[in-house]
Amino acid sequence: MNSAAYLRRLGLPHLLDAPATAENLRALHVAQVERVSYEALNIWLGRPTTVDPLESAERIIGGRGGYCYHLNGAFSALATALGYDVTRHVGGVQTRDVEPGITANHLVLTARGLPSDDNPGGEWLVDLGLGDALHEPLPLVAGTYEQGPFTYGLRPSEVAPGGWRFEHDPAGSFIGMDFGQEPTDMSAFTDMHQHLTTSPTSGFVRVAVVQRRDAYGVDSLRGLRLSRIGHGADSVTLSTERDYYAALADIFLLPLDDVSAEEKEKLWRRLHDAHEAWLAGEPA
C-alpha cells in the first residue's frame, strides 16, 4: 500500500502520520467520495479487474475509480495502514422489485474505537461504494440521518441476524442495503465480481454507470444520460463524444489518461449504440 500516494490523490497528504480519530476518518471518507468516482467503465473498455485491494488502490492512485469491491477494498487497506480498526463485511444491495438479502453484491466496511461527541460508542458504518449514497460515515447506531439533501435510515437487519439495514433516500438509485456482522476477506466476493463484470444480466454490463457524491447532492451518468440530484433534479443527454469525455473529466474527475484515443472512440461507439437501442426499446 502506497499510503502517501493514495493520500495525495485524496488531497490529504498531511494525514499520513495523523492519529486515527473520528474526525480524520470523516475527512478521509469525504475526500474519497468527492475525488474518486464510482464507475465501472473498465467493463465497457474490456479491461478485466480483480477484487484485490492493492490492485484497486493502484488504479485509484492512477486517477481512476471503481465500484464497491474496488472503492471499499482499497479504502480498507489504506485505513488499516493508517492505524484504523476497519472490518470488511458481506452485504447485499436491494434494488427495486428485489427482496432484501445478503447476496455478496456489496462489500461493507465498519470502523470501531473512534468515539466522538455524536457517537460515544465509536463504531461507524464506512461505505464509499454505494455510488449515490453516503457522503460521510454514519454512527453505527439505529436512527435517521441527514446528509445534504438526502435522509438515510439505519436499523437492525431482518435478513442478517445481528447485522444492520441501511435505508436509502427515496431519491436514490436503490432501496437499501443489509450486511452481516461477521468479518470477511475479499475471497467472499470473487464469484459475484465475476458475475457483475461479465453476465449479460448485470446492471454494470447493461449500462455504463458513473457517479460522484458531494456535500450538496450527486451527479450520475447512466449511458449518455447525465443527471444531477440534489434540491431537485435535472438531466440532459450527452449527444457527442466530445461532450461525454468533457463531462467525465470536468464533473466526475475522470480524464481517462490511461485510455488511448482509439479506445475512447471504441467506447463512445458502444455507448452510442447502446443508447440508440434503448431509445428504440431494444436490448442494449
Query: Which phi and psi (to 5°) does residue 58 adopt?
Result: -65, -35
Q: What is the mean pLDDT of residues 178-189?
A: 97
Burial class (CB in 10 A: 0-12, 13-18, 19+), 202: middle
Mean pLDDT calculated for residue range 257-270 = 97
Residue that the C-alpha cell 479487474 belongs to: 49
> pLDDT at position 128, please?
97
What is the pLDDT at residue 282?
Answer: 61
pLDDT at 283: 58
Quickly list H helices, 105-211: 190-198, 203-206
Cell for 130? 454505494
Per-residue pLDDT, 44 = 96
In tens, the pLDDT along 87-116 reads 999 999 999 888 999 999 999 999 999 999
- Section 221-238 average pLDDT: 91
- Domains recognised in the chain with CATH numbers: 202-279 (3.30.2140.10)
Task: Decide if pLDDT at 149 tops 70.
Answer: yes
Residue 40 three-state SS: coil
- Is the pTM above the cut of 0.85? yes
Reported as a pLDDT band with limits 50, 70 and 90, residue 279 is: confident
Could you give the percent of the chain with pLDDT greater than 70?
Answer: 99
Burial environment of residue 155 by CB neighbours within 10 A (0 to 12, 13 to 18, 19 or more) = middle
Adjacent-strand bridge partners of 210: 39, 221
- Among 229, 258, 265, 259, smallest CA distance to 244 is for 265
